Amino acid sequence: MTRSARQFLPILALIGAGVTLTACDQEDQSAFAPACPSVEILGEAADFYQYDGKGLDAGSLVTHAGMGGLTGNCEAGPKKSVRTRLSLGVTVERGPASDGRDVTLPFFVAVLHDGKIMDKKEFSIPVTFRGNQSTVSLRTPVRIIDVPAAPDIQQTNYALKIGFQLSREQLEYNRTHLRPAAFRYRSN
């Protein structure tokens, strides 16, 4: 072994020990890596239409908002839970019947276990239109939801459903005005 190689042996030994310790620490941290709950924006609750009460035409529209751009992640949380972080992208349009600059949009996050609603929280999205602005795009603050981890950490029976909190009339409007998906077969 050359003299220069012998000089670096103690340094290499320290680096190797550090890598080994780091690997042990990472192994302990990843010993609990649970499955994430499924997250879905409900199609029937992804749009918020508010009219002035004089009709359902374009001239009577006060506000239209649409949800999209769901982002987030999940990781092991405290006390054998799964911590999910999520944020929504929302686009809000001010309609011709709008008489103000401020709108508050209610939305919810529901926690389901085996298809049954276990909890539901409502939040609000404050929106301000500035000047002649007719459209605002924004992201909601990150919401943190902790759900119990399943005994089999590779599966989860939990799901998160998100949508605007709508009146019966708004929900019915969405149901009757949603365009169904169109699938076409194309062979090359």
- Joined together, the tokens standing for residue 160 give 């998160």
Residue 112 domain flag: yes
Whether residue 136 lies inside any domain: the answer is yes
Query: What are 20-59's pLDDT values in tens digits?
Result: 333 333 444 455 567 889 999 999 999 999 999 898 889 9
Structural domain including 98 reads: 38-174
- Domain-embedded: residue 162: yes
CATH number at residue 162: 2.60.40
Task: Give SS3 for 81.
Answer: strand
- Tens digit of pLDDT for each residue in 136-180? 999 999 999 999 887 765 667 899 999 999 999 999 999 998 766
The total number of structural domains that make up the chain: 1
d(CA 143, CA 55): 36
Joined together, the tokens standing for residue 1 give: 């072994």
Residue 21 lies in a domain: no
In a domain, 165, yes or no: yes
